[in-house]
Amino acid sequence: MESEFTVTFDDDPAGFLERAGDLLAAEPVTSSVIATIAARMAQAAASGPIAPRAPYCWFAVVTDPAGEIVGVAMRTAPFAPYPPYLLAMPDGAAAALVDALVDRGEQVGGVNGALPAARVAAERVAERVGAEVAVTMHTRLFELGELVEPRLPRGRLRPAYDDEAPLALEWFHRFHVDADEQAGHAGHADRAEGTTLDDVRERIRWGRIWMWVDDADSPLHLTGANPPAYGVARIGPVFTPKEQRGRGYASAAVAEVSRRLRAEGSRVTLFTDQANPTSNRIYTALGFEPVVDMVELTIR
């Protein structure tokens, strides 16, 4: 049966933003992942051709019979199984997106994004190829409400230095390993493989990586953030080495970074793994409030 929805793929992030910008701007918090990645890729492409880091690199728009955009998605993940990422959309739109992917020969081993669209899409893939769906991670998007000031530890927050890029990259990689350990599961250590030293240096140049340092200016903790899109900035990663934990560095750093982002005029958001009690406790204590639950699904 032919779908009532139309799916259009676009490998030009600037063109995608021009077409879908109004929809992204209308829901800037929930759309922040797609909006920030598309904006960053569009900015990079404006300086010259960029080589994709994954087998797939596209953005998609789903329209209804009247031509109205009812959903957007992307496939830019640099880690296997290179899952498409969906924002909220009608069930029929999610199914139409999957049918378009399968019909054009793409292998889909996972789906991430907003519920219930992500689950509808994953189940449609499983139906089409004869597989099963398993939950990899339940995530939750938070937005900062009224900031609750934490107890301040010794030290201070400052922007990361250029020569700290190798350390920052190491901590980006360790973040995923340690987050898995805290949440009691595994399988996400490869998430940082797509992050390069050049990526980290670029974020440092943008002023989007901060270090909490001791009195000798030695880094004890890292907090990062994405450049804002449609007035929303997303914090992450947030990493404290094991030997420095329990001293309040994460709470103090996230609070200070949040203040700075708000001073720039941005709303402040972040994601947590729902199974990680440490991060959920820290962020709710600071005044972050849940917005929407999302999911990462594997299809096998």
Closest CA to 269 of 35, 97, 101, 83: 35
Alpha carbon of 143 to those of 28, 79, 80, 266, 272: distances in Å?
11, 26, 28, 11, 11
Residue 183 has pLDDT above 80, yes or no: no
Residue 1 pLDDT > 70 = no
User: What pLDDT, on a 0 to 100 scale, did the predictor assign at position 188?
Assistant: 58
Read off the pLDDT of residues 209-251 as tens digits, 9 standing for 90 and up. Answer: 999 999 999 999 999 999 999 999 999 999 999 999 999 999 9
Residue 58: strand, helix, or coil: strand
What pLDDT sits at residue 48? Answer: 73
What is the percentage of the chain residues whose pLDDT exceeds 70?
94
The whole-number pLDDT of residue 53 equals: 72
- Name, of 154-163, 170-179, 194-203, the range with top average pLDDT: 154-163
Q: Tell whether the model's pLDDT for residue 189 goes beyond 90.
A: no
Taking the alpha carbons at both ends of the chain, their separation in whole angstroms is 26
Say yes or no to pLDDT of 193 above 60: no
CA distances from 8 to 31, 62, 96, 97, 100 (A): 18, 6, 11, 9, 9
Q: What is the mean pLDDT of residues 287-292?
A: 96
Radius of gyration of the chain from its Cα atoms, rounded to whole angstroms: 19
DSSP state of 171: H
C-alpha 221/C-alpha 50 separation (Å) is 32
State the pLDDT at residue 47. 78
Q: What sections of 142-294 are H helices per DSSP? A: 165-183, 197-206, 249-263, 277-286
Confidence category of residue 124, pLDDT binned at 50, 70, 90: very high
Give tens-digit pLDDT for 131-159: 999 999 999 999 999 999 999 999 999 99
Q: What is the pLDDT of residue 140?
A: 96
Name the band, by pLDDT with cuts 50, 70 and 90, for residue 3: confident
pLDDT above 90 covers a percentage of the chain that reads 86
Residue 220's φ and ψ, nearest 5 degrees, are -115, -20
Q: What is the mean pLDDT of the chain?
A: 94
> Which pTM value belongs to this model?
0.92
Higher pLDDT, 52 or 172: 172
